[in-house]
Amino acid sequence: MKFTKMHGAGNDYVYVDCFNHDTPADPAATAIAVSDRHKGIGADGLILIRPSEVADARMQMFNADGSEAEMCGNGVRCVAKYIYDHDICKQDSVKIETGAGTLSIDLVANDGKVEQAKVDMGEPILIADLIPTTLSGDAKMSPVVDVPLDIDGQTFDVTCVSMGNPHCVIFVDKATDELVHGIGPLIENDPRFPARVNVEFIELVSPSEVRQRTWERGSGETMACGTGASAVCVAGVLSGRTERKITNHLLGGTLILEWDETTNHVFKTGPAVEVFSGCWQEA
Ligand SMILES: N[C@H](CCC[C@H](N)C(=O)O)C(=O)O
């Protein structure tokens, strides 16, 4: 299987160009195999770049545990970069079909290669049943903002947002390993999140700057999470902690987020890097 390794702020995936190469017969099993950082290629998951009837390409994303996710914020920047750099769609603005709808991406290229991309992530989903979570705000239809979540004998105030995939955002004084690797997986698999959930631990630097560590549904801690950073931007505004435009420092790089008041859309700007290509021998 021909693949290309790419990352957005360190959130790295194995990409398969299904315009020009064979599509894995069992992408879930392939995602598990190639993601293994010792016996495989090493990645946070697998992303298929597929032809689309309604957009310039379709992104299909699988976590390292083989589960398919609706959307990948860092991944969609890399998909847009790939189709531009490899002359599949040489336009400065492209549309990518995802499980969270068809998204528009503006590309910043240098010498014919994309370095940065700005993604219109669309509108956040705040209705608890649609996130989904059984937690509820102070009224059935109100957003889940700073709602207490008791877990492992501790209580965390959580804010839940979906960007097509579910996120549980927790503002903390220090995003320690105990929180990320101890509490993260407990929340990921808690029954109050029927589809499981991605968990973001956020340190507030200022009303316009945060630091994020992420425990991802199906992949564990990642160096960055674009949909997570978008959910954090929304959670910061809803909880009165941040402005609508923030700089988010993640372990693997920096993303700029803005939740635009007029359109209600979240915009995310960040890097996209192609590292190497190769051929994977399916077992
Ligand atoms: N790393 C991705 C998020 C993957 C989310 C996935 N772990 C899920 O199951 O929702 C991002 O940059 O948005």
Sequence spans of domains, the chain: 2-120+270-279, 128-264
pLDDT digits (tens, 9 = 90+) for 204-215: 999 999 999 999
pLDDT digits (tens, 9 = 90+) for 41-69: 999 999 999 999 999 999 999 999 999 99
Is the minimum distance from the CB of 97 to ligand 1 under 6 angstroms?
Answer: no
72 is catalytic: yes
- pLDDT computed for residue 107 by the predictor: 97
The reported pLDDT for the residue numbered 202 is 98
pLDDT of 140 above 80:
no
Q: Give the pLDDT score at 142.
A: 84
Query: CATH assignment of 2-120+270-279?
Result: 3.10.310.10
Whether 137 shows a pLDDT value over 80: the answer reads no
Cα-to-centroid distance, 8 and ligand 1 (Å): 12
Task: Please tell me which residue in 78, 160, 168, 225 is annotated as part of the active site.
Answer: 225
User: Is the minimum distance from the CB of 60 to ligand 1 under 6 angstroms?
Assistant: no
Of 3.40.50.2000, 3.30.70.20, 3.10.310.10, 3.40.50.800, which CATH number belongs to 128-264?
A: 3.10.310.10
Structure ipTM: 0.92
Judge whether 2-120+270-279 and 128-264 match in fold: yes
- Known catalytic membership, residue 225: yes
Q: pTM to 2 decimals?
A: 0.97
Q: Encoding tokens for residue 214?
A: 């992420």
Tokens 């939740």 sit at which residue?
259
User: Is the pLDDT score of 100 beyond 90?
Assistant: yes
